[in-house]
Structure 1
Amino acid sequence: MTESTTKRNAVVIPGGQFGPYVPLLMYAADAAEVRGAAIRAISWPGPEQPMEVPPDDRQGWVTARVAPVLDGLETRTAPPDELTAPPPDGLPLLIGKSFGTYATALAADRGLPAVWLTPLLVHEPVVAALRRATAPALLIGGTADPTWDSRLARQLSPYVLEVTDADHGMYLPGPLAGSAAVLGRVATAVEEFLDNTLWR
């Protein structure tokens, strides 16, 4: 991925087990990059691994690792007044998967737009931060994912892609071609969110 000369930035925040270059995150980042964003991909440093962090400490653990990346970017601090208003172009876009969605607190605190892939809607710190959010957020999940809540997702954001029978990895049962098609649907949803909501 290449640096951009524009003020657009996208920060990619991985899940707890794999890095920032899994297909779901890569396609979302690609959608931002082709629209002029510089991509900042975060990898979790050792020796402590994300899934070893006690649940009550996970939001703080993620915040401590993502905040310095955001601090190094040029941003505008004024959040939009309404969820449907496009945020200023200089605000970074957060793209997070699963464990990375503990960064919802940073998004809420700083008024940052986001794409949350399989957000942990069964974890109260994530839900509370999404309720506080002032910038648009796209929520993407599947009905076979135990951390997804269809009704709650639609309460938290007007921007939701839900895939019937998709699990936490956004895989469908059966031939892999079906799961590959889901990846395409996710990519399209991100592109439409960027074009019609954030960077229109």
Structure 2
Amino acid sequence: MPQRRQAVILPGRNYGSQGPLFMFSQVALRSRGAHIYPMRWENVDYLCADTGSLMEGVNTQVERLLPQIDFLSSPPVLVGKSIGTAAVSTAARFELPAIWFSPLLTEYPIVQALRRCTAPYLLVGGTEDPTWESALVDELPGEICEIPGGDHGLFLPGRPLTSSAHALADIIEAVEMFLDTKVWRRGFLSEHRHRRCFATLANSLPVEGGIGDAQ
């Protein structure tokens, strides 16, 4: 009997489970027969107080949910953004596949947990996001989708809106490829474990400005 397909959505602080990244990811997951469990963080101010509170609070809440969805017999895919990516410790502990949008790579415990992961994961980040480290992700044993000029919301400020739309399309293409080749495999899986997926953006220009409000 085939396993039930499941996914847990782990939002950011100001980026909810209906944001574009999650909305299209959930369509991709549902089209593959997955049941979706969106998380709602409790006491967000506590989670964001410091690194210790973030790691303890996020993972405690996620691990409280897992027994309710029979995760041992049907391991879910974790899909998180920003503070939600702190759940990488849970992914490493229970060998769960994951998709991490705008992972907080400036947080040492998150990077260490990524190094411990044995299940496949996809990292998606923008080069203008201060929490993204291009050189670091090349050393990690995961799949990579890097958006040139993308900020923490994976938006391209200062460029035509169509550039951000094209970047979103590239991200969702990477998500679907990851699901089909690494999680719920359809056909041959390459032995090459480390893939960098660059967005193709026309008329690329240097981006000025800082992080967007979406976290």
TM-score normalised to structure 1 length: 0.86
The aligned counterpart of 1:187 is 172
Identity across the alignment (%): 41
Q: Cα distance 1:18–1:76, how it changes in 2: closer, same or farther (>3 A)?
A: same
Indicate if the aligned counterparts of 1:142 and 1:162 stay in contact, CA closer than 8 A: yes
How many pairs align? 183
> Residue 53 of structure 1: CA displacement?
2.7
Counterpart check, 1:44 vs 2:29 = no
The aligned counterpart of 1:59 is 55
Gaps of 5+ in 1: 78-89
Q: Cα distance 1:117–1:61, how it changes in 2: closer, same or farther (>3 A)?
A: same
The aligned counterpart of 1:197 is 182
Indicate if the aligned counterparts of 2:46 and 2:53 stay in contact, CA closer than 8 A: no
State how far apart, in whole Å, the 1-side matches of 2:63 and 2:53 are.
16
SS of corresponding position for 1:156: coil
Indicate if the aligned counterparts of 2:47 and 2:57 stay in contact, CA closer than 8 A: no
Q: Cα distance 1:52–1:136, how it changes in 2: closer, same or farther (>3 A)?
A: closer
Question: In the TM superposition, what whole-angstrom CA distance separates every residue of 1:134-157 from its partner, at most 9, and x where no partner exists?
Answer: 100000001111100112112113
SS of corresponding position for 2:83: helix
State how far apart, in whole Å, the 1-side matches of 2:175 and 2:144 are.
10
Amino acid at match of 2:81: K
Indicate if the aligned counterparts of 2:92 and 2:116 stay in contact, CA closer than 8 A: yes
The two structures, once aligned, show a CA RMSD in angstroms of 1.7
State how far apart, in whole Å, the 2-side matches of 1:178 and 1:121 are.
25
Gaps of 5+ in 2: 186-215
Indicate if the aligned counterparts of 1:6 and 1:37 stay in contact, CA closer than 8 A: no
Q: Cα distance 1:99–1:52, how it changes in 2: closer, same or farther (>3 A)?
A: closer
> Residue 6 of structure 1: CA displacement?
6.1
Which structure: larger Rg? 2
Pick from 120, 127, 132: which aligns with 1:143?
127
The aligned counterpart of 1:14 is 11
TM-score normalised to structure 2 length: 0.80
Counterpart check, 1:111 vs 2:95 = yes
State how far apart, in whole Å, the 2-side matches of 1:38 and 1:6 are.
12
